[in-house]
Amino acid sequence: MRVTGSMDLNDDVLVRSFEVSTRRAGEDVGAVGDQALLLETMLGRYVLNADANEVWSLVDGRRQVREISELVGSRRGLSASEVTPSVRYCCLQLLELRLVEVRTRSQGDQTTTCGPGLS
């Protein structure tokens, strides 16, 4: 499978795939920890461990991968450069599994209104 976007991903913004549903991983997927997350698509089920779950939770369609690395590093008391290889690897894996996509400029330019008083 070919991953789109630049291989270093630092300047790329990721968005979660619309074809993915999520739920907390329970006993049915084994003892993988309280922070595990189960992602389901039409093609498969994937369990994210706590580290991958942290990266997944920061994918919001606005943050660049470098910003995700900075946030993960600051939460752990590490520099962004210390966590960037792991964050990048995780993002590449999510891309290969089609759980996230690289946001295109046209996707970023669209505005969605949630309703009166909400944005």
Quote the pTM value: 0.71
Question: For position 105, what pLDDT does the model report?
Answer: 57
For 84, what's the count of Cα atoms within 13 Å in the CB-facing half-sphere?
14
Q: Which of 67, 54, 52 is nearest to 14 (CA)?
A: 67
User: Which residues, other chains included, contact 85 with Cβ-Cβ below 8 Å and sequence gap of 6+?
Assistant: none
Q: Which domains does the chain have, with CATH numbers?
A: 14-104 (1.10.10)
User: Tell me, what's the pLDDT at 77?
Assistant: 97
pLDDT given at position 41: 81
> What pLDDT score does 25 carry?
59
What's the pLDDT at 115? 39
Residues of the chain below pLDDT 50: 1-6, 27, 29-32, 107-119
